[in-house]
Amino acid sequence: MKYVFLFCGTADDQAAFDSLSPEELKRRYAQVGRWFAENHAHLGPGNQLHGPESATTVRFQGDGKPIVKDGLFLEGKEIVGGYTEVDVANLDEALAMARSWPGRGTVEIRPVIQQR
């Protein structure tokens, strides 16, 4: 089964991350790097995203007219910081991987619609 992991965090998580010392930050990146290396066999494409200040939203009105706005679709709540595709046998395996995620915050697991 194919899933996408959305790595999310609150603004507080982001602030905590930003205030890490350079050594701590290095250590954290090393942990995350290890996680990606360990799970390499099950990972598809993925990326880390720039912060919420870089986000732009196109929102469609009821009449179908698009409105372009600065910022995130959902203000203030969880922010998606990155994503990766994951290919494993079932949800339990995906959960085991997500549980070992060293990046803190929240990991949302979404099954991908498979073309048959």
Smaller CB distance to another protein: residue 74 or 96? 96
Minimum CB–partner distance for residue 98 and another protein (Å): 11
Smaller CB distance to another protein: residue 56 or 90? 90
Smaller CB distance to another protein: residue 90 or 115? 90
- Contact residues toward another protein (CB under 8 A) are 1, 3, 89-92, 94-96, 109, 111
Minimum CB–partner distance for residue 1 and another protein (Å): 4
Q: Give 39: exposed, middle or buried? Use CB within 10 Å, 0-12, 13-18, 19+.
A: middle
Read out DSSP for 35-66? Answer: HHHHTGGGEEEEEE---GGG-EEEEE-TTS-E
